[in-house]
Amino acid sequence: MAALRAAKQALRKEIKRRVAAVTAEEKLRQSLVLSRKLFKHPKYVSCKRIAVFVNMDDEVRTEEIIKDVFRLGKSCFIPRYESRSSHMDMLKMKSLQDIQTLPLTSWNIRQPAKDDKSREEALATGGLDLILMPGLGFDRSGKRLGRGKGFYDTYLERCIRHPKGKPYTIALAFKEQLCQEIPVGDNDVLIDEVLFEDDQ
């Protein structure tokens, strides 16, 4: 267990270094390529209820995706993380403007306030069809390296217990976040698919 934790920590450091070296322009360019790929993806086209992460600086930009979700009339859910635990809820948003007026967390991302009880939580109602997954690193077989808090692994466990079952999961990755192999433990949930810009 300690060896796995150490391996993950070393890899986190290495990936953070690689992503930090990527310019803002290149991050945006890759993000737009991935957005266009996603828009054609059958799972995205057919989904009605989708959870999208609000990106941090070292993650794929999701604003264009969020705009498209609302344009198509899909139900859009974003995460609310509880910083003192590994608990996360996916709460329904009304519009991009709705998201842009949310308070900022200490991680500098927008999410509904802790005492905001007015929003629908995805698992309290119809579940989710698709979750777009953030992360620090990924490999091609669907292994994911998160930030060590276990938010998404815990949430996916809750999804599995929901009558609708586990949603399809797609990770959005910069090329610099791809690894040969991610070390995983028993609690790490595999992702169905990792989208990245291939050099074809």
How do strand 137-138 and strand 144-145 relate by DSSP bridges? antiparallel
User: 8 labelled as ligand-binding?
Assistant: yes
Q: Which residues of 179-198 are buried (b: 16+ CB within 10 A; e: fewer)?
A: beebbbeeebbebeebbbbe
Q: Residue 170 and residue 142: Cα distance in Å, rounded?
A: 9
Judge whether 170 and 195 are in contact, CB under 8 Å. Answer: yes
User: Is residue 200 a known part of a binding site?
Assistant: no
| pLDDT computed for residue 59 by the predictor | 95
| Domain 1-196 is found in CATH 3.40.50.10420 | yes
Confidence at residue 199, expressed as pLDDT on a 0 to 100 scale: 56
135 is in an annotated binding site: no
Residue 148 marked as a ligand binder: yes
Is 104 known as a binding-site position?
no
What per-residue confidence (pLDDT) applies to 189?
82
Residue 200: the pLDDT is 44
pLDDT, averaged in runs of 10, over the chain (200 residues)? 86 94 97 97 98 95 97 97 89 95 88 91 95 95 89 91 92 95 84 85
Interacting residues of 102 by C-beta distance below 8 A, sequence separation 6+: 110, 111, 112, 113
Overall size of the chain counted in residues: 200
21 is in an annotated binding site: no
Ligand-binding site membership of 51 (annotated): no
The reply to whether 147 sits in an annotated binding site is yes
pLDDT tens across 29-57, in order? 999 999 999 999 999 999 999 999 999 99
User: What pTM, to 2 d.p., does this model score?
Assistant: 0.94
